[in-house]
């Protein structure tokens, strides 16, 4: 049972944040620009020094090496980072489900040979999601995952995440500025205001 429990996370502009997502639950996070949404995701993923604890089921973040934690609690940043020449070099060769993820996001297998430099912003965003899911994280932290996408590709991403929640029972924390998206997908919503997490009705 891998619920994601955020226990008193404090980081720069954030007052201690407590939030529990049950297994397979999705929760939405909004708030004004600069309110600390991305910082909170980075803190949960343990990418910056921060105070507090995060739990995956009964395993504490502090009990495991950071790279393992980051594989199990996967962050999709608003801007993805690519270091090698081609798409395929960023994906594990034998990972389960990659072809399916690519197809569901509108790509053909030939995309693996594409040079990173030719990718559009939206293609990068979708391929970054494939790369993340290839690691089969148990929880997902999505920072504006559909911000640069047209409606067709936005729907593809939303459907893929819905399916991943079902198949892998992953908890998902979405940062989204789009109230329609929150309404469309359903789930609890919170806002960060003055560094505090407040429930949204
Ligand atoms: N490394 C850093 N050093 C100092 N301040 C930082 C650092 N990173 C972020 N901040 C500040 O923390 C605040 C919150 O940043 P964050 O990126 O979390 O905002 P956000 O809510 O995600 O905003 P947006 O909706 O514009 O993406 C901002 O004022 C930002 O300038």
Give the CATH number for residue 45. 3.40.50.300
pLDDT of residue 35: 93
> Using CA of residue 47, residue 65, residue 25, residue 15, what is the dihedral sign?
negative
Domain count, the chain: 1
Mutation probe of ligand 1 site: the residue of 37, 141, 147, 197 with most atoms within 8 A of C-beta? 37
- 136-168 per-position pLDDT tens digit: 999 999 999 999 899 999 999 999 999 999 999
Q: Which residue carries 């789009």 as its tokens?
A: 178
Contact between 169 and 117 (Cβ < 8 Å): no
Closest CA to 85 of 113, 126, 56: 113
Q: Which residues line ligand 1 (CB under 6 A)?
A: 12-13, 31, 33-39
Residues of the chain with pLDDT under 70: 1-2
pLDDT of residue 92: 86
pLDDT of residue 96: 80
Residue range of the domain that includes 69: 4-200
Element (H, E) at 140: strand 139-143
> How far does residue 41's CA lie from ligand 1's centre (Å)?
11
């Amino acid at each position: 049972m891998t619920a994601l429990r955020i226990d008193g996370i404090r980081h720069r502009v954030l007052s201690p944040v407590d939030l529990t997502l049950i297994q397979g639950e999705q929760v939405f996070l909004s708030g004004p620009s600069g309110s600390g949404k991305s910082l909170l995701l980075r803190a949960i993923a343990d990418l910056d020094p921060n105070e507090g604890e995060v739990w995956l089921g009964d395993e504490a973040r502090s009990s495991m090496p950071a790279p393992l934690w980051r594989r199990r609690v996967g962050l999709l940043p608003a801007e993805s980072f690519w270091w090698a020449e081609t798409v395929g070099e960023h994906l594990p060769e034998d990972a389960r489900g990659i072809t399916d993820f690519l197809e569901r996001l509108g790509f053909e297998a030939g995309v693996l040979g594409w040079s990173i430099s030719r990718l559009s912003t939206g293609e990068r965003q979708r391929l970054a999601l494939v790369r993340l899911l290839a690691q089969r994280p148990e929880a997902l932290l999505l920072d504006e995952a559909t911000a640069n996408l047209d409606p067709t590709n936005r729907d593809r991403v939303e459907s893929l995440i819905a399916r991943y929640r079902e198949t892998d029972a992953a908890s998902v924390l979405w940062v989204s500025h789009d109230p329609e998206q929150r309404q469309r997908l359903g789930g609890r919503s919170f806002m960060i205001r003055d560094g505090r997490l407040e429930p949204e009705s």
